[in-house]
Structure 1
């Protein structure tokens, strides 16, 4: 099923329309929709789509020979398949057809010389024609190694596209029939991976889907998290401990060390690998001048489903082993699911603000210092403006809204920025605005009239 990916499909089509030689690396984690994107492009532009398997070099060449012969209706090739990549690339260099290699890392695993061979034929033939060649893969480590300066393809690739999970509003296309709150809950659990979003029956309650589609050992959603990680990691058990620790809320280096019992040098190495694989991300307060050297960095899981799986499934395997799915939901999941969704809602708000045409000049992020935290801070240094925002995953009365905003004003005084002074210490400070986001906000019109910025759930879904 091809849903969304309009931006990425449009990008591929625009690159193809340029009529220039293109060597494109398309990569992203498994299940994110790379194959569906390539298939849709191939359908629209009659492209040759070749998907590799984990098999010996000779078997791969035989399979591709058969598929290419079928595509071009070539009887000679049917009876005399390619014996090496030289023959394959010479053949393709004579065609004007776009060529899409899916699971390209499998081909490299079977023949480590392939990048060098492709480099030669790119330089000799493909770069001198209207070539449109896409190399696609799920092994992020290998695909990014092809971008490195030690790779034979370094300097040859014309574009690289990292296919990220869908954002909230894009994911909503998978469950348009749900109420707005239920859309947030579904996204909080499943995240933006298309293959995961297709697994739920959205005509059933969320907890029933969790019980039947996630908490059963034979299901795709139960098994896939481990499978994906095992494909990328050489010491998965250690990484599981670190990911699980972060999922439980240990986001600072010291907290992760204490929870896992691992030494700092080892933790740092493992965190770096997880970051390179786009499984975790390191964040700092948006006000930090030197993010890389900041001592306020925290580590967060990027994928909502990984957060859910490690928080509730990995931690509670004994319930599932004993067939106690209902008890697991009652004891561990249902009581905290609303709070879990609250964190996802904060991310949805940040995501919305970063792409909103209403705030084009602001850089948005979070702010924290010791025990204080502000959900949303937007900086516009060029025009000396700042926005402070609070996000609540609840419906607020006008009284609660004003109390929350008053507390936000008090907290905002502690924020250091500009010339490294607290915002309350700046004599002629910048323009400051205060934002409140809730499911519903009572007295919204009056709050807007008083100069506050107010957003509700409907604004995030519909606008």
Structure 2
């Protein structure tokens, strides 16, 4: 494997796949697609890779087709050290020349921010498809990496009837750091502080640079840190949540999309709830929900106990923070009233942002760890109807075993999550009731563990359940 540069933090999985792709440049034609939201370090990774193997890297910008061709020609001339600059009439000419150079030099070719090019030159994917097919038929060893941040565009490159479908030998998504890796990256040793910081900035690496490498040193510094970074109009992080929306090519009416995200961030997670919040009919917002899903700004999660029902969750923590804390008081924040806004929003932040985010972290913990004797088949959340008591029991973390044909679904664990409430026997009893109801519905609950995930601790002498606190979530 090509050695990973020391300046690249973590990303071992991504580097392994990129390295393997680059090492095959001299053997056969291949196409790779690398995507991921902005600020995740994609460009940092692929530039480092191109530098290590002596490949060609071209980073596209928002420009007309004519200017993009001119910039591409210059990059190609610089790479080949051509005495006379290239002059291309169109992308058909340019891509044919690019493939010829790639085949001759057995070099890796990287085109970054490809959606900028395909937006103004819609035929470009078809042109690349034709050249890839020619390279395959002639066994010409050309290696091309297409990279981009517009998730809806990159996701569509290889889907359905898209020209490049079936041509890629690698499809890699560069995701944010998980919560434990993010804590290491932000140099946070206190688990409670790490949860709070992750609730604001998530696992996006570039945000550390956005705050000038400033991190809260202890829990008591968190409020001041929020006010001096994300709530300060003089920092890049202040407007970042808005830019995340505007960068997506398929988003037109940003006001409506912001309202949809606000609805979800404020607890209106069903399609009907979202529609009611923004004053539209449920049937009228299907397209907007699909666009936000394709853009990886929203995700739809099926109720694990009622497959016909689902809820929506905001994918990016900073967007939830913006919608709940910042957007309602935007004019005050722009005028420098961060202290007053934060005091007013602190309780909302804990209830509407930290609480749901901590639940998601606990589901991630249950998904990645073999906590219950075997690797989970599915981890999610759901609602168990208690008709006898005319109530519903919300199960925050339901862990299922792998499905076996002809056998009832086996539940490994039923879990409840609380961030700010000390957990006790009442929580255990509620989970026990859910277990009994599920047994009556035909689920296999013989070995189901009742599990409590707590951010504020547990009652002394608590029995009948497994408990996981912040230390356990961040260990390992």
TM, length-normalised to structure 2: 0.85
Say whether 1:75 aligns with 2:82. yes
Deviation at 1:389, TM superposition (A): 1.1
Aligned to 2:229: 213
Residues of 2 paired with 1:427 and 1:274: CA distance?
A: 34
Structure 2: gaps (5+ residues): 1-6, 386-391
Q: 1:297 to 1:116 in 2, by over 3 A?
A: same
Structure 2 equivalent of residue 336 of structure 1: 348
- Give the superposition deviation at 1:338: 3.2
- SS state of the match for residue 268, structure 2? coil
Residue deviations 1:329-384 (CA, integer Å, cap 9, x gap): 1111x223333323222111111111113441442111114642011111124483
Match of 1:373 among 394, 400, 403: 394
TM superposition shift of 1:155? 2.0
**TM-score, normalised via structure 1 length:** 0.87
1:392 to 407, 412, 418: 418
In the alignment, which of 3, 9, 16 is matched to residue 3 of structure 1?
A: 9
What is the distance in 1 between the residues matched to 2:59 and 2:264? 35
Match of 1:412 among 419, 431, 435: 435
Partner of 1:159: 170
Query: Equivalent of 1:143, from 146, 154, 164?
Result: 154
Task: Give the secondary structure class of the aligned counterpart of 1:198.
Answer: helix
Q: Does 1:317 align with 2:330?
A: yes
Between the aligned partners of 1:70 and 1:318, the Cα distance in structure 2 is 47
From the superposition, tell whether residues 21 and 169 of structure 1 become closer, same or farther in structure 2 (CA, over 3 Å): farther
CA RMSD of aligned residues (A): 2.6
Show CA shifts across 1:208-240 (max 9, x none): 232222223343112222222123211111111
Task: Give, in angstroms, the shift of residue 104 of structure 1.
Answer: 0.9
For residues 267 and 428 of structure 1, the distance between their equivalents in structure 2, rounded to whole angstroms, comes to: 38
Correspondence 1:260 to 2:272: no
Equivalenced residues, count: 442
Give the aligned partner of residue 418 of structure 1: none
2:193 equivalent in structure 1: 182
Q: Secondary structure at the match of 2:111?
A: strand
- Please say if 1:303 is aligned against 2:310: no
| Aligned-partner Cα distance in 2 for 1:146–1:425 | 43
Question: Are the counterparts in 2 of residues 93 and 126 from structure 1 also a CA contact under 8 Å?
Answer: no
Secondary structure, aligned partner of 2:145: strand
Structure 2 residue aligned with 1:224, among 240, 243, 247? 240
Deviation at 1:105, TM superposition (A): 1.4
Instruction: Say whether the 8 Å CA contact 1:66–1:81 is kept in structure 2.
Output: no
The answer to which of 357-366 and 423-432 deviates more is 423-432
